[in-house]
């Protein structure tokens, strides 16, 4: 199949050709014609599937034939959970619209608002935004939605994880009712389906990545070791194997800083990215990592979400994620588009509950390795594959609205200070801080989250 058979016109085909794409990815083949037709779309697709071009290209195609955008107006709005993803989507929009008259801009928090207000003055055909800053700009009359034709929620599951649901609902209420809606999400939990009900109208449903599977092209393994040996083990693995571009995941921001500092001290160039870093620092770190100046990028899950680095060869889980599905997201950074990648996890005795939950989720046992110098003294228990299906938990939501100012009990505070809804997503958090350590005991219905 070719891009020209999907209904894209010459200026877009030229831009696609310049990117070197020879044929549409599966999500593009399905989404592009549907969006051009004006249909609503609900797509289950992760980063790495080509989803961005899957919505940006047909949106540009539609906008090319419409009226000119007026001052402060927006014709297509793409909402994303993180600044990094917003910047990447706009970068794509910029490239693909090169031979059209259409404009695109990105707005996100953490940087000055004034330049963004200026950028909105002439109006923008495609605006990519994170929810909080978009609301600020709207309140200041810098962004108006009278001309809005298309709304995209990108990585909707992450947006809900990060607690953006109220902002999203407020934004939806500001938009013209008559519009096209596109919803992209890596997973389709009940919560996403709920959101979708009030959003998409008779949607074309597309699923290109079976949920919770890992790419065949990624070699996965674990090194069993002790907790305090993880840092020297990582240094040895990087040096002995001459790993060049390594994305390392830690659970906490503090852990990311500490590890990055340690790597630097050992002569391995490194930077940490997480929610406490300024936008400038995050952008610089990402650039340095992409161009090879920085050998290791140490990141928390949220900061790394959506990072698009083509052919990223190595992903290391220095800490296993609390939520098993995040393992799939993490290692999805490598082995993209058929390229070969390697995902290595450093696992100590304390991590065994997380390990077993991951193996149960991906339905395979991860091959174990040992480094002769950093063997585990405190052994990691043997894995045994639990083949029982994982039932999504549906904790009942509190019915009564909370009095103003009262905070939801927030046990699952995310590494980046964002609310985590791992429970709501049905992906049970595991780990030593969780009361329910043994996954097998979780057959009975969970008590209401309001009472916990």
Binding mask 218-247 for ligand AMP (x = CB under 6 A): ------------------------------
Interface region with ligand AMP, contact rule CB under 6 A, candidates 19-27, 217-225, 352-360, 417-425 = 19-27
Q: How many CB atoms lie within 10 A of CB 154?
A: 26
Size of the site for ligand AMP (CB under 6 A): 14
Q: Which two tokens stand for residue 27?
A: 């999500």
Cα→Cα distances 370→72, 219, 221, 348, 377, Å: 59, 16, 10, 11, 11
* Binds ligand AMP by CB under 6 A, chosen from 6, 8, 24, 253: 24
Cβ(74)–Cβ(103) below 8 Å? no
Interface region with ligand AMP, contact rule CB under 6 A, candidates 45-53, 70-78, 190-198, 412-420 = 45-53
State the minimum distance, in angstroms, from the CB of residue 162 to ligand AMP: 18
Interface region with ligand AMP, contact rule CB under 6 A, candidates 22-30, 73-81, 98-106, 440-448 = 22-30
Instruction: Provide the 8-state DSSP code for 208.
Output: -
31 vs 165, beta carbon nearer ligand AMP: 31
Rounded to whole angstroms, the Cα distance separating 164 from 435 reads 27
* Binds ligand AMP by CB under 6 A, chosen from 39, 51, 329, 428: 51
State the minimum distance, in angstroms, from the CB of residue 339 to ligand AMP: 10
State the minimum distance, in angstroms, from the CB of residue 154 to ligand AMP: 9
CA quadruple 63, 51, 72, 280: dihedral positive or negative? negative
- Given phi > 0 = left and psi -120 to 50 = alpha, else beta, which region is 183? beta
Rounded to whole angstroms, the Cα distance separating 222 from 237 reads 12
17 vs 293, beta carbon nearer ligand AMP: 17
Query: Taking the C-alpha atoms of 128, 414, 452 and 326 in order, what is their torsion angle to the nearest 10 degrees?
Result: 80
10 vs 404, beta carbon nearer ligand AMP: 10
State the minimum distance, in angstroms, from the CB of residue 241 to ligand AMP: 25
Q: Which two tokens stand for residue 197?
A: 């009900």
89 vs 263, beta carbon nearer ligand AMP: 89
Is 52 an interacting residue with respect to ligand AMP (CB under 6 A)? yes
State the minimum distance, in angstroms, from the CB of residue 56 to ligand AMP: 8
Residue 231: name the closest of 262, 198, 276 by CA.
Answer: 262
* Binds ligand AMP by CB under 6 A, chosen from 13, 21, 62, 252: 21
Place of tokens 């304390």: 350
112-128: b or e for each residue (b if 16 or more CB lie within 10 Å)? eeeebbebbeebbbbbb
Is 53 an interacting residue with respect to ligand AMP (CB under 6 A)? yes
Residue 242: name the closest of 148, 179, 313, 186 by CA.
Answer: 313
State the minimum distance, in angstroms, from the CB of residue 82 to ligand AMP: 13
DSSP 28-41: HHHHHHHHHTT--E
State the minimum distance, in angstroms, from the CB of residue 81 to ligand AMP: 14
Is 290 an interacting residue with respect to ligand AMP (CB under 6 A)? no
Rounded to whole angstroms, the Cα distance separating 247 from 378 reads 27
Is 49 an interacting residue with respect to ligand AMP (CB under 6 A)? yes
Is 47 an interacting residue with respect to ligand AMP (CB under 6 A)? yes
* Binds ligand AMP by CB under 6 A, chosen from 8, 31, 39, 50: 50
Is 385 an interacting residue with respect to ligand AMP (CB under 6 A)? no
State the minimum distance, in angstroms, from the CB of residue 204 to ligand AMP: 18
Kindly identify the residues of this chain, within the stretch 302-321, that bind ligand AMP according to CB under 6 A.
308, 310
Is 99 an interacting residue with respect to ligand AMP (CB under 6 A)? no
Rounded to whole angstroms, the Cα distance separating 418 from 410 reads 10
User: Own/partner pairs for 388-392, CB < 8 Å, 24+ apart?
Assistant: 388/360, 390/360, 390/361, 390/426, 391/426, 392/189, 392/190, 392/425, 392/426
* Binds ligand AMP by CB under 6 A, chosen from 11, 48, 81, 255: 48
State the minimum distance, in angstroms, from the CB of residue 377 to ligand AMP: 42
Binding mask 334-373 for ligand AMP (x = CB under 6 A): ---x------------------------------------
Q: Which residues bind ligand AMP (CB under 6 A)?
A: 21, 24-25, 28, 47-53, 308, 310, 337
């Amino acid at each position: 199949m070719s891009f020209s058979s999907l209904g894209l016109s010459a200026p877009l085909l030229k831009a696609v050709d310049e990117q070197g794409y020879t044929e549409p990815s599966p999500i593009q083949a399905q989404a592009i014609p549907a969006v051009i037709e004006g249909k609503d779309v609900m797509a289950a697709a992760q980063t790495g599937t080509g989803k961005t071009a899957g919505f940006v290209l047909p949106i540009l195609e539609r906008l090319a034939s419409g009226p000119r955008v007026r001052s402060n107006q927006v014709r297509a709005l793409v909402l994303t959970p993180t600044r990094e993803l917003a910047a990447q989507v706009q970068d794509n929009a910029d490239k693909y619209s090169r031979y059209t008259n259409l404009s695109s801009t990105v707005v996100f928090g953490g940087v000055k608002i004034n330049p963004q207000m200026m950028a909105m003055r002439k109006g923008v055909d495609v605006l990519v935004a994170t929810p909080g800053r978009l609301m600020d700009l709207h309140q200041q009359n810098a962004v108006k939605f009278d001309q809005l034709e298309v709304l995209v929620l990108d990585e909707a599951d992450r947006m809900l994880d990060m607690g953006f649901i109220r902002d999203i609902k407020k934004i939806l209420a500001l938009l013209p009712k008559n519009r096209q809606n596109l919803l992209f999400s890596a997973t389709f939990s009940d919560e996403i389906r709920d959101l979708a009900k009030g959003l998409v109208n008779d949607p074309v449903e597309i699923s290109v990545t079976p949920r919770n599977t890992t790419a065949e092209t990624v070699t996965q393994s674990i090194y069993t070791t002790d907790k305090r040996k993880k840092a020297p083990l990582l240094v040895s693995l990087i040096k002995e194997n001459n790993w060049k571009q390594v994305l390392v995941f830690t659970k906490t921001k503090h852990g990311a800083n500490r590890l990055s500092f340690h790597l630097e001290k050992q002569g391995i160039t490194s930077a940490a990215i997480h929610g406490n870093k300024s936008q400038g620092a995050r952008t610089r770190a990402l650039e340095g990592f992409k161009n090879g100046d920085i050998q290791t990028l140490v990141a928390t899950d949220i900061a790394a979400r959506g990072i698009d680095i083509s052919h990223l060869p190595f992903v290391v889980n220095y800490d296993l994620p609390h939520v098993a599905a995040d393992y799939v997201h993490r290692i999805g950074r490598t082995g993209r588009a058929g390229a070969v990648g390697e995902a290595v996890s450093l696992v100590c005795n304390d991590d065994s509950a997380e390990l077993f939950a991951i193996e149960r989720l991906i339905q395979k046992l991860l091959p174990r390795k040992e480094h002769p110098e950093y063997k585990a003294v405190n052994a990691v228990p043997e894995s045994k594959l639990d083949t029982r299906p994982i039932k999504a938990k549906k904790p009942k939501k509190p019915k009564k609205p909370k009095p103003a100012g009262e905070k939801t009990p927030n046990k699952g505070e995310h590494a980046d200070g964002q609310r985590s809804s791992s429970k709501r997503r049905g992906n049970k958090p595991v780990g030593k801080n969780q009361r329910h350590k043994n996954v097998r005991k979780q057959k009975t219905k969970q008590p209401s989250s309001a009472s916990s």
